[in-house]
Amino acid sequence: MAFRLTLVGKNYQMSESRNVRWGVIGLGWFGEVHADNLAEMPDIELTALCTRRPERLTDVADRLDVENRYTNYRDLLADPSVDVVSITTHIYDHRDIAIDALRSGKHVLLEKPMAPTVADCNHIIQAAEKGGGLFMVGHICRFDPRAALAKEAIEEGRIGKIISMHARRNLSRAIGRMVLDDISALMGDGIHDADLMLWFSQAKVSSVYAQEVHPGQNKYPDAGWSIARLDNGAVAVVECVWHLPENTPYAIDARLEVIGTEGALYINCGEAGLAIHDAAGVKMPDTMYWPRPFGRYCGVLQEELRYFANCVRAGQAPQRITPAESRATVAWMAAATESAQTGSVINF
């Protein structure tokens, strides 16, 4: 595909090279997944990495042969060899880093959730509106063909008007233990399904109620359920339990069902086409999001990264997911958290 660089809309900073040059800020587990994928993708060059942990930085940068290494993200933002940054830090660092990155003129791909509060989201969005770069929150599920084809079927009217939706996104408690000091199950994963539901229905949240359960020893609750009434009359229910048995066969038990007046659709990401029964039990590995057969990544994360790279090359603001849509999911999950803590219904 020969990109014809037609600069439309924003005045962005694109280097003369056709390769999009990318930096990653935050090298936790998922930051490394970003880096690994970027390093393997055509038309993209992974040029810079940043983490506060020097040893981690050396490990990852050596392995991926990245020269520009930073322990202070501001230094990476000042690096002219970077066009785009992935921000893959903890959610509580999202606001400040994203704002600084946007002010620096970089294109910013910020991991979800955008921020812990709607107020923080607003600050980020203001910075994005003023900044010279493009901005997208990484709502990866919108790039999942299962969800995207579902969205198309809904747009074509195949299931009529949406009445009821349920989403589940459950994980092993082994994963829960690693993550639940940083974020709750509902905020961490419910955000995905809140987004898909609002995307599918093109509706707004009218009211939110939630319950959380906290059987673990971590800071945030392991399990949460939120039920929202939408302004089109539909009910939308999100289930996140990060407390499946450690030997659960599910890499992730993620499902989403949408019932409309004329039809219904059923997304099942929990059973993704491969079950391995061995001496250790049953495992159903990820085959769609970032599988790595023969040491080479493929899948939905690359589709997301490719999409943003194409937006950058074309100088076009991302349409697949907008900052305002990202903020709406934070609004829902923040309200759900409040509801779970207070026991009351939150009206929008």
Q: Of 11 and 164, which has the nearer Cβ to a second copy?
A: 164
Q: Are 239 and 225 in contact (CB under 8 A)?
A: yes
Q: Which amino acid is at 303?
A: E
Residues within window 245-274 making contact with a second copy, judged by CB under 8 A: 245, 247-249, 259, 261-269, 271-274
Cα separation, 182 vs 29, whole angstroms = 13
At 67, list the tokens. Answer: 């020269």
Give the number of C-alpha atoms closer than 13 A to the C-alpha of residue 36, restricted to the C-beta side.
Answer: 19
Q: Of 195 and 212, which has the nearer Cβ to a second copy?
A: 212
Q: Are 139 and 321 in contact (CB under 8 A)?
A: yes
Q: Are 220 and 249 in contact (CB under 8 A)?
A: no
Task: Report which DSSP code applies to 345.
Answer: P
276 is a site residue for a second copy (CB under 8 A)? yes
CA 34 to chain centre: 12
Residues within window 213-232 making contact with a second copy, judged by CB under 8 A: 213, 215, 222-223, 225, 227, 229
Q: Which amino acid is at 68?
A: N
The distance of closest approach from Cβ of residue 315 to a second copy in the complex, given in angstroms and rounded to an integer, is 16
Q: Of 16 and 55, which has the nearer Cβ to a second copy?
A: 16
235 is a site residue for a second copy (CB under 8 A)? yes
145 is a site residue for a second copy (CB under 8 A)? yes
Cα separation, 214 vs 16, whole angstroms = 52
Give the number of C-alpha atoms closer than 13 A to the C-alpha of residue 4, restricted to the C-beta side.
Answer: 1
117 is a site residue for a second copy (CB under 8 A)? no
Write the CB contacts of 177 (distance below 8 Å, at least 6 apart in sequence): 216, 217, 218
The count of chain residues that interact with a second copy, using the rule CB under 8 A, is 85
Number of other residues whose CB lies within 10 A of the CB of residue 213: 14
The distance of closest approach from Cβ of residue 164 to a second copy in the complex, given in angstroms and rounded to an integer, is 5
The distance of closest approach from Cβ of residue 170 to a second copy in the complex, given in angstroms and rounded to an integer, is 7
DSSP 149-181: HHHHHHHTTTT-SEEEEEEEEE-BHHHHHHHTT
Q: Of 153 and 174, which has the nearer Cβ to a second copy?
A: 153
Q: Of 131 and 260, which has the nearer Cβ to a second copy?
A: 260
Q: Of 92 and 266, which has the nearer Cβ to a second copy?
A: 266
At 173, list the tokens. Answer: 């408690």
Residues within window 45-104 making contact with a second copy, judged by CB under 8 A: 45
Contact range with a second copy by CB under 8 A, out of 39-47, 70-78, 110-118, 322-330: 39-47
The distance of closest approach from Cβ of residue 10 to a second copy in the complex, given in angstroms and rounded to an integer, is 22
Q: Which of 19, 81, 117, 316 binds a second copy (CB under 8 A)?
A: 19
Q: Of 227 and 328, which has the nearer Cβ to a second copy?
A: 227
202 is a site residue for a second copy (CB under 8 A)? no
Cα separation, 151 vs 273, whole angstroms = 21
Q: Which of 168, 169, 192, 327 binds a second copy (CB under 8 A)?
A: 168
Q: Are 55 and 323 in contact (CB under 8 A)?
A: no
Residues within window 286-345 making contact with a second copy, judged by CB under 8 A: 287-288, 291, 293-294, 298-299, 303, 306, 309, 320, 343-345
Contact range with a second copy by CB under 8 A, out of 77-85, 165-173, 193-201, 325-333: 165-173
32 is a site residue for a second copy (CB under 8 A)? no
